Chain A
Amino acid sequence: MAEPLVTHSGLAGALMIDNVDTDQIIPSREMRTVSREGLADGLFAGWRYESPGSRTLRADFVLNRHPPASILISGHNFGCGSSREHAVWALAEFGIRVIIAKSFGEIFHGNCYRNGVLPVTLPAEDVDRLASSCDGQVIDVDVRAQTVSARALPGWTGAFAIGAYSKRLISEGLDPIRLTLKEAGAIAGFLERDRIDRPWVYN
């Protein structure tokens, strides 16, 4: 299960490219099992390593810095392309907690919340400003207040939108299944009544 994320202060890494698609995030050749684990190694494999298949790190790739970033900054339409959930699994396992982008691929966006990664959409100018001033610096994210701030940008605060349900998933570190299981009482109550109303469903 994901760690609850209520506030997060972490190092930012800027990957200022539009349309980073899920196949770049986790190339299909790196998805060797049906399992959701062991994917961090293949994260951005095409960009992170010297050559396909190699594991020699490219010094100039943003996620190869030490200590590693936990906040990724990117452009428009981050996570577009194939609906593979592996992309988020790989990012989460690598340690990315927040992605700040100009916009997101829709399915990827939904997949983030259920896997403990917070997608933050900010206006393009703000994202560009963060990328130029805060690459390698600390950014502070507050899920309760729905704000982003940065020590390198004193006086600036960015506000982001998040639905109440998604906010719960992120701030309690739950996935939809575990959140629904908290409704066990309501579900049991429904089934008890329904067994009387429509017994043929349960035979």
Chain B
Amino acid sequence: MATLFDKLWGMHRVADAGDGYDLLAVDRLLLHERTGGVALKSLEEQDLPVVHAARCFTFMDHIVSFRAGRARNEARSPGGETFILETRRLSADAGIRIIDTDSPDQGIVHVAGPELGIVLPGFTVMCPDSHTCSLGALGALAWGIGSSEAEHILATGTIRARKPRQMRIRVTGELRAGVTAKDLALFLIARHGAQGGNRCAIEFCGSAVDALSMEGRLTLCNMAVEFAAYTALIAPDERTLDFVRGRQLSPAGEGLLEAESHWRTLSTDAGAVFDTEITLDAGTVTPQVSWGTSPEETIALDACVPEGSNVRALSYMGLDSGQRLEGLTIQGAFIGSCTNGRLSDLKMAADQLRGKKIAAGVRGVCVPGSQGVKREAEKLALDQIFIEAGFEWGEPGCAMCFYAGGETFPSGARVLSSTNRNFEGRQGPGVRTHLSNPAVVAASAVAGYITMPQPAQPLGETA
């Protein structure tokens, strides 16, 4: 009677590593220019070689410029170019493949990684970035690590880790029309608190999770770290296998058949016991918007800020207890990030923008999560819809998800954002971030204030 997490842990366990830790084999190490270079540099200084460069990948995403037509080394933050150049040099010296700024594969690590088949079910995947938990959506054991752990993996191919407690979150029923995985995640965090995940490894399951697209599952798992989870996981099913098949680095032919028969065994045994269980009825979830400076400070879009709310958050956000969010004037709208920067996210936003213009006084920015997403979107002419509506259409990367110095929304600006963190200053000094799904961001950009999206119009082929 084992959980999927137990099985994957056991499958990668190399040895006892003392003091309650295990030594786990790491199948993929993903680096990015903001922290990867530091780890590589430190190894270089210690004369330690990188042992499995072929299973490491360097992405350029965090501080690359998102300006349309950006130059190869152009950063969005002052001094950022050094990180791009250094990380590129150190990765190349170590023999690590670089998904570079000008590569057709470039994108945010958690978006491009699955797209390229670098992340596959059952893998252990580590990255010095807290949203690595996103990748659990493919049935991978994935979590964010620190710089010294990245060094350890580079030098040994393994990580010392202490097995966390486990939680199962069963989402029953189905999400209503217009309610997304993002709303589900925000709802969960609002209900159980930003510490609700309690450092557990979470397995999401239930009919509403089964029904999510892979993109929706990536969004749900992405937010697990905002729930203080150790990581999140969804057992691979046929939808996962369909998603993985045919990717650049996915196995093919005989190898694929062998892999698939292994992947089909990856699930939690019927009688397995979790340390904690939460059940949630998907039918009770409605579109959510955060009002405060923690993702737990979230309410239904049409609700009022609770009485007796955290005063510091209220004052930073320029709000009062009891105030309605709906109707609040906004100055910014951002669509992108590893949370909601995938094709389905751009589509649902474009549905709200088609034939419309964003309100005067609103700056709208859309940055596809990867070049792959951007290409697909442009094939569907979504870029035209965004641009005609008055949105900027940027080059893939983390962009305005986090402030790294450089240009952003002005202090005091109220911004609706499809990202995952609404901390003070996250999008820039004094910027007031409200988290929501991309359709809410787009509809509100058009209205000029926070508003409920229009129901999606059936496009003829589907009802």
Contact = CB atoms under 8 A, between A and B. Distances in A.
Contacts of B48: 177
B23 A183 contact: yes
Nearest to A35: B45
A166 B21 CA distance: 11
A36 B41 CA distance: 10
For A35, A190, A191, the residue with the greatest tally of chain B CB atoms inside 10 Å of its CB is A190
B25 A191 contact: yes
A187 B158 contact: yes
B278 interface: no
A11 to B, nearest CB: 30
Contacts of A198: 122, 259, 262
Contacts of A85: 148
A176 B148 CA distance: 9
B15 A181 contact: no
A132 interface: no
Contacts of B41: 34
B27 interface: yes
Interface residues of A, number: 28
Given A163-B19, A186-B15, A203-B255, A177 B38 contact: no
A176 B258 contact: no
A168 B18 contact: yes
B15 A177 contact: no
Contacts of A191: 25, 157
A200 B156 contact: no
Given A34-B41, A200-B251, A200-B259, A190 B25 contact: yes
A146 B152 CA distance: 28
B14 A186 contact: yes
Interface in A170-197: 176-177, 180-181, 183, 186-187, 190-191, 194
B156 A177 contact: yes
A200 B120 contact: yes
Interface in B162-219: none
B311 interface: no
Interface residues of B, number: 35
A201 B18 contact: no
B151 interface: yes
Contacts of B255: 199-200, 203
A9 to B, nearest CB: 27
A165 B14 contact: no
B160 interface: yes
B152 A163 contact: no
A199 B262 CA distance: 11
Interface in B235-279: 249, 251, 255-256, 258-259, 262
Q: Say what secondary structure dominates the interface of chain A.
A: helix
A34 to B, nearest CB: 5
B25 A194 contact: yes
Contacts of B19: 163-166
A34 B155 CA distance: 19
B251 A180 contact: no
B45 A180 contact: no
A179 to B, nearest CB: 9
A181 B155 contact: yes
Interface string A33-61: 01111000000000000000000000000
B381 interface: no
B157 A187 contact: yes
A34 B157 CA distance: 24
Nearest to B14: A190
A191 B15 CA distance: 12
Contact of A183 (B15, B21, B251): B15
B3 to A, nearest CB: 20
A37 B19 CA distance: 29
Contacts of B42: 34, 36
Contact of A177 (B14, B27, B152, B249): B152
Residue in B14, B21, B48 whose Cβ sees the most chain A Cβ within 10 Å: B14
A186 B16 CA distance: 10
B119 to A, nearest CB: 12
A36 B45 contact: yes
Interface string B17-41: 1110101010100000000001001
A109 interface: no
B409 interface: no
Given A176-B160, A177-B48, A203-B249, 19 more contacts: A35-B45, A36-B42, A163-B18, A163-B19, A165-B18, A166-B19, A180-B23, A183-B14, A187-B14, A187-B15, A187-B158, A190-B14, A198-B259, A199-B258, A200-B256, A200-B258, A200-B259, A201-B123, A203-B255
**Top 6 A-B pairs, shortest CB-CB distance:** A165-B18, A163-B19, A200-B251, A165-B19, A200-B259, A190-B14
Interface of B: 14-15, 17-19, 21, 23, 25, 27, 38, 41-42, 45-46, 48, 55, 120, 122-123, 146, 148, 151-152, 155-158, 160, 249, 251, 255-256, 258-259, 262
10 contacts: A34-B38, A36-B42, A165-B21, A186-B14, A187-B157, A190-B25, A198-B259, A200-B120, A200-B259, A201-B55
